[in-house]
Amino acid sequence: MALESEVKIKVLDEYIETLKQDLLFSMAERKLKSENTNSHTITRIKRELDKAAQERMRLSQIHHSNINNSMALTAASA
């Protein structure tokens, strides 16, 4: 379970980095064009980034909870 959540967290981290790059690119493109045509794209990317960050936090909490539980069980059985 812990390994599975580590893999999911790594995938989410990569996805978040991609979204950050897309957001920066879209914002720079919008600034160069001086148009509001990219505002929908920027809003969509921000929303996706927020969702991914929330999911990463949730998985991280679950992962750390599992590690703490494993450590507690190990200590209790020692």
The candidate with the shortest Cα–Cα distance to 28, out of 15, 41, 17, 44, is 41
Predicted confidence at residue 35, as pLDDT, reads: 62
Quickly tell me which residue has 């981290």 as its tokens.
13
* In the chain, where the domains are located: 2-77
pLDDT tens string 39-69: 888 899 999 999 999 999 999 888 777 666 6
Higher pLDDT among residues 42 and 78, named by residue: 42
pLDDT tens string 10-36: 999 999 999 999 999 988 888 777 666
